[in-house]
C-alpha cells in the first residue's frame, strides 16, 4: 500500500534530467555524484536492465571510454568505494509491454511523415549543449504520441511518472523516519522530470493518480553498495 506524508517531497530530492547514452549526460551524473555525495541514488532502471548494463561493462576493453556507457551505470561507478544505496525505480520492460499490450514501438511507424522528417538528432543536440532544444523536441514527440496512441503515451509517461515519483517518495519517507540528512539524487530521462516533480510536490495528487491509473505499488529495488576499506 502506498503511504505518503502530506509534504513537498521535492525538498528531499535533487532530480537530474538526462539523455541516455550521451557523454554529456554521463559527465552530468559524475559531477552530481561528486558535488552532492548522496547516500541514496534513484535511477530509471529495473533490476534486469541494471544488471545487463553493468555486466556488459565488466570485461569490456573500452571500459571508461565506450559510448555505450550510460549515465546510470556511470553514476553507480562514480560512487566509488562508499556505503550507498542504489534504488531502481522504473517499471520492468515486461510490465511496460504488458500494460500497453505490446504496442511500445508501433507509434513511431505511424507518426505523420512530415513530422518524422522534422525530428532532429537528440543525441547530437544534447552533446552540443542544446539541452532545452532536445527537451522541447521531446515534448513535441510526446504530444504527437499522446494524440495518436494515447494508451501507449499513458504507460510510457503517465504511469511510469506516477510509479517513479511514488518510489522516490517512499525512499524519502524512509529516510525521514531514520533521520537521514542527505538528499536523494534521482537520475531520470528528461521527458519525466517535470511530471515527477509535480507529483512529488502534490502527494494527494500522486495517490489519486495511482488509483485513477490502477497501478499497484511495490517498493523500489535496492542495490546496496558497501565500502571495502583497504589495510
The pLDDT tens digits of the residues spanning 35-75 come to 889 999 999 999 998 888 777 666 666 655 555 567 777 78
Task: Quote the pLDDT of residue 86.
Answer: 94
CA–CA separation, 114 vs 8, rounded Å?
Answer: 42
Q: Is residue 34 part of a domain?
A: yes
Q: Is residue 1 part of a domain?
A: no
CA–CA separation, 206 vs 166, rounded Å?
Answer: 7
Q: Is residue 231 part of a domain?
A: no
Indicate the pLDDT class of residue 171, thresholds 50, 70 and 90: very high
Which cell numbers hold the place of 191?
521527458
Q: Is residue 3 part of a domain?
A: no
Task: Quote the pLDDT of residue 115.
Answer: 43
**Domain span at 118:** 9-225
Tens-digit pLDDT profile for residues 179-220: 888 899 999 988 899 999 999 999 999 999 998 998 999 999
Q: What is the mean pLDDT of residues 149-161?
A: 87
Q: Is residue 43 part of a domain?
A: yes
Give phi and psi for 119, each to the nearest 5.
Answer: -70, 125
CA–CA separation, 140 vs 144, rounded Å?
Answer: 6
Q: Given a cut of 90, is residue 18 above it in pLDDT?
A: no
Task: Quote the pLDDT of residue 63.
Answer: 57
Tens-digit pLDDT profile for residues 98-145: 887 655 444 444 444 444 434 566 665 656 666 667 667 766 777 776
Q: Is residue 230 part of a domain?
A: no
Number of domains in the chain: 1
Residues 6+ apart with CB under 8 A from 194: none
Q: Is residue 198 part of a domain?
A: yes
Amino acid at each position: 500500500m502506498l503511504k505518503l506524508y502530506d509534504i513537498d517531497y521535492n525538498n528531499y530530492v535533487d532530480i537530474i534530467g538526462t539523455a541516455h547514452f550521451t557523454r554529456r549526460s554521463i559527465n552530468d551524473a559524475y559531477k552530481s555524484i561528486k558535488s552532492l555525495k548522496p547516500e541514496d541514488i534513484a535511477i530509471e532502471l529495473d533490476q534486469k536492465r541494471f544488471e545487463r548494463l553493468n555486466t556488459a561493462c565488466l570485461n569490456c576493453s573500452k571500459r571508461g571510454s565506450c559510448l555505450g556507457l550510460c549515465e546510470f551505470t556511470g553514476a553507480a561507478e562514480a560512487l566509488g568505494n562508499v556505503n550507498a544505496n542504489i534504488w531502481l525505480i522504473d517499471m520492468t520492460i515486461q510490465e511496460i509491454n504488458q500494460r500497453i499490450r505490446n504496442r511500445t514501438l508501433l507509434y513511431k511507424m505511424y507518426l505523420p511523415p512530415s513530422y518524422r522528417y522534422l525530428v532532429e538528432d537528440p543525441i547530437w543536440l544534447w552533446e552540443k549543449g542544446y539541452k532545452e532544444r532536445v527537451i522541447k523536441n521531446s515534448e513535441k514527440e510526446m504530444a504527437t504520441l499522446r494524440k495518436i496512441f494515447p494508451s501507449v503515451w499513458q504507460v510510457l509517461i503517465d504511469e511510469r511518472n506516477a510509479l517513479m515519483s511514488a518510489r522516490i517518495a517512499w525512499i524519502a519517507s524512509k529516510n525521514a523516519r531514520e533521520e537521514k540528512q542527505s538528499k536523494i539524487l534521482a537520475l531520470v530521462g528528461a521527458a519525466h522530470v517535470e511530471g515527477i516533480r509535480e507529483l512529488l510536490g502534490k502527494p494527494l495528487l500522486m495517490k489519486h493518480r495511482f488509483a485513477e491509473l490502477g497501478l499497484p505499488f511495490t517498493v523500489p529495488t535496492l542495490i546496496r553498495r558497501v565500502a571495502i576499506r583497504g589495510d
